[in-house]
Amino acid sequence: MKKMTVAFVVMVSMFLISCGSTVKYKEGDNTRSFMQGTDKILVKFDYSAVRVGKFATEAEYIENRMAEIDEKEPGKGDEWRVKWEEQKDSVFEHQFIKLMNDQTGKKGVFAGTDFNDAPLTMMVHVTFIEPGWNIGISRRNAEVSMTIEIYKTGDMNNPLVVYEMNRLQGVGAMGFDFDAGYRIGQSFARGGRDLGKFLVK
């Protein structure tokens, strides 16, 4: 009976943790009043200070990963580097915005990277990426952390609000998420979904 009680408490705790918001308020307008009358949000992404895995900088990660790939398949490192950069736009950012719009669109608010006439501008500063791995017998989920700053377009010196989202884990494809880009993209998708839901709730 005691074991069942402990198991129940653990299950409830895990449920409550999973239901908790991943969006953490840091400073500024905590009422979300800036969303009133808004129908568009311009989104910009910044990777200038991102750490990747165990590496202090993205440049170190790229250099190391290219060397690993070239050691196995000479010349393939450059192909990987190009793909890594392309995936930022085609996978990571695309998934973030798509899942954000799935939530904010219900309230008539849409985000995009080309909405230059939007009243609000959102800066997504990506601070950490854990690519994870999946080699069949062993796997680790990808994780992403980011700082979100929302500005009135035209006044990029004074953020209306600042949020943090840490250690966002995406949901794998039933264990078949062998591609790092896919895994990371799912973490960005989690960020977009959770932020969108938070902004319009």
Written out in words, the top-level CATH class of the domain with range 24-200 is alpha beta
Dump pLDDT digits (tens) for 31-68. 999 999 999 999 999 999 999 999 999 999 999 999 99
pTM of the predicted structure, to 2 decimals = 0.86
The neighbouring-strand residues paired with 144 are 129, 168
152, containing H or E segment: strand 143-152
Residue 60, by phi and psi: left (phi above 0), alpha (psi -120 to 50) or beta? Answer: alpha
Residue 59 and residue 49 in contact, taking contact as beta carbons nearer than 8 Å: no
- Separation of alpha carbons 62 and 77, rounded Å: 9
Please give the pLDDT value at position 174: 47
Please give the pLDDT value at position 52: 97
Burial 55-64 (b: 16+ CB within 10 A, else e): beebeebbee
Indicate the domain borders of the chain.
24-200
- Separation of alpha carbons 67 and 88, rounded Å: 21
Please give the pLDDT value at position 136: 59
In the predicted model, residues of the chain with pLDDT beneath 70 are 1-20, 133-139, 171-178
Please give the pLDDT value at position 146: 98
Please give the pLDDT value at position 76: 96
CA distances from 193 to 21, 65, 111 (A): 11, 30, 12
C-alpha torsion sign, points 29, 18, 87, 100 = negative
**Residue corresponding to tokens 């840091």:** 26
Please give the pLDDT value at position 198: 97
Phi, psi of 141 (to 5 degrees): -65, 150
- Separation of alpha carbons 145 and 166, rounded Å: 4
Please give the pLDDT value at position 34: 96
- Structure-block tokens of residue 2: 């005691």
